[in-house]
Structure 1
């Protein structure tokens, strides 16, 4: 599990939620040459104090990337959140890695990336994966399922209103805790060989009906799942103040849950992180405050 612990391992986006956890996990697992890449090194003084080297790394400045990756053996590219522009960022990162002689790239992708018109936000992940394959560098693609933490965006409001809206035909999402995804990414940096694509998931898919029941159990308040046609749910989001582009993206995720793309389960977390993924019910119970309870 730690074959490459003495090689130089760099994590991009190390000041972000996933990147920071991945760096901390690498250090905890005995990696000796951990580099934290970030646009703003001043944000990572705590990681430097723990033993990580901090380097300035900005995907928006392609001409600087190769130099920032000098001496790096294995690279974790945490996909950026610049939807609509992140493909350019990822292309620049991969090109810089190739110029710098990086031997292996781990990339955080999404479930079922495809170029289809219904691909929504995952289209950029598809073309990023293609770029990685064409680079000639060995890779591990981690198709991270929906983070369990994403439920914090509306859980308190759902519990307060007693209504959880979703699409008709929902087949569930195998939510994965961000800490489990980060530990999986760290494990891939430490041990993955060859070129593979891995789905990173929680232990079981959770439907909207099941999610509503869990909210009700934790809060002691009734919460009902209300299934709507696509157009009605999207219109309701926009009427509630969600920007149209974001509503489109959120509907896209729910369509993927309906088609089964989000309900896949694998043992990737256990293989790379060394422990079983946290169950969604356990995750919610451990984060009651974030649910407004």
Structure 2
């Protein structure tokens, strides 16, 4: 088994929040051969200053992907941001998987979604489902990290709920295993730096599943202001989002997450974060308390 410092690790999407944090964690852990990949490698000067190599990685450029993956042993594919372009992410991820096969990459880590099967009402679930299928067909070793909803997405809605006293949702009594982006990054860094060569699918979640009523209670507890959960229909939630200026396509994606919570497909809790990193994940209450200023508008 090669020493960890002999592996060359490549992280795609390194100019984004998750990818950048994964690179930072790998470098902090002493990994010496880390490549930060991005469509805009010129934006990675902070990471190269810390010891990472920057490469252009564009999932729309098959030939460029071949060049980007030369010498890479383990690859993290961070799902791209083309969430409002049906079919594009499927094609992008398929190119990345095919290029990994051609380059002789030993293992691929992929950031997926909790329960992305056909039963999921989430509009972008098909992107993850098809990418998982492409990895299964590829013959590569892989670790699929099915990330639950980012706790960070609670901040904007939470701030509005604290200001109005109403947490409007269409999730019914359903719950979600909200997980922080930091915990997702720590899990991804650990999976990428691992010596594991097999294939596995892991649910990456927080320590408990939280309903909207519980979330309203936590917001009230953390901020000291009254917050009530108000359940509406998906159509009403969508109309409200559009009325507040969201593009209809984005509103539909966000509402589909509430539909999934209501159906129970996101009520998943696992020990994957602690199993990969040795540290328990952050709870929703801990996360909200740490970001109280963002919730109260300080």
Query: TM-score of the superposition, structure 2-length normalised?
Result: 0.93
User: Which residue of the partner structure matches residue 276 of structure 1?
Assistant: 280
Equivalent residue, structure 1, for 2:266: 262
Q: In the alignment, which residue of structure 1 is the partner of 2:92?
A: 89
Match of 1:59 in 2: 59
Alignment partners' CA distance in 1, 2:202 and 2:27: 23
Residue aligned with 1:107, SS: strand
Counterpart contact for 1:60–1:89, Cα < 8 Å: yes
1:169 paired residue number:
172
Match in the other structure for 1:28: 28
Structure 2 Cα separation of the partners of residues 245 and 200 of structure 1: 27
SS of 1:261's equivalent?
A: coil
| Cα shift at 1:243 | 2.3
Aligned to 1:203: 207
Aligned to 1:106: 109
Mapped to 1, the partners of 2:69 and 2:268 lie a distance apart of: 34
Question: Do residues 219 (structure 1) and 230 (structure 2) align?
Answer: no
Matched, 1:189 2:207: no
Shift of 1:289: 2.6
Tell me whether 1:120 sits opposite 2:137 in the alignment.
Answer: no
Partner SS state of residue 175, structure 2: coil
Alignment check: 8 A CA contact 1:170 1:254 kept: no
Cα drift, residue 244 of structure 1: 2.1
Instruction: Name structure 1 gaps, 5 residues minimum.
Output: none
Give unmatched runs, 5+ long, in structure 2.
none
RMSD of the alignment, in Å?
1.7
Aligned equivalents of 1:248, 1:8: Cα separation in 2:
39
Count of matched residue pairs: 292
Partner residue in 2 for 1:45: 45
Deviation of residue 6 (structure 1)? 2.6
Moved more, 229-238 or 280-289: 229-238
Cα distance in structure 2, aligned partners of 1:126 and 1:269:
22
- Alignment partners' CA distance in 2, 1:241 and 1:19: 29
Residues 5/277 of structure 1: CA separation in 2 closer, same or farther (3 Å cut): farther
Distance of 1:99 and 1:61 partners within structure 2: 14
* Cα distance between partner residues in 2 of 1:255 and 1:168: 6
CA distance in structure 2 between the aligned counterparts of 1:117 and 1:201, rounded to whole angstroms: 17
Contact 1:4 1:189 in 2 (8 A): no
- List per-residue Cα deviations over 1:45-82 (Å, max 9, x = no partner): 11111111111111121221011100000000000110
8 A Cα contact 1:174 1:205, kept in partner: yes
Can you list the C-alpha shifts for 1:124-163, whole angstroms capped at 9, x where unaligned? Answer: 1101111111111111000001111111232222211111
Within 2, Cα distance between the matches of 1:40 and 1:244? 29
Counterpart-to-counterpart distance in 2, 1:287 and 1:183: 19
- The superposition leaves residues 20-60 of structure 1 with CA deviations (integer Å, 9 ceiling, x where unpaired) of 11011111222121111111122111111111111111112
Kept after mapping to 1: 8 A contact 2:122/2:259: no
Contact kept, 8 Å, 1:59 with 1:90, in 2: the verdict is yes
TM-score calculated relative to the size of structure 1: 0.95
Residues 3-31 of structure 1 deviation map (CA, whole Å, 9 limit, x = unaligned): 64430000001110000110111112221
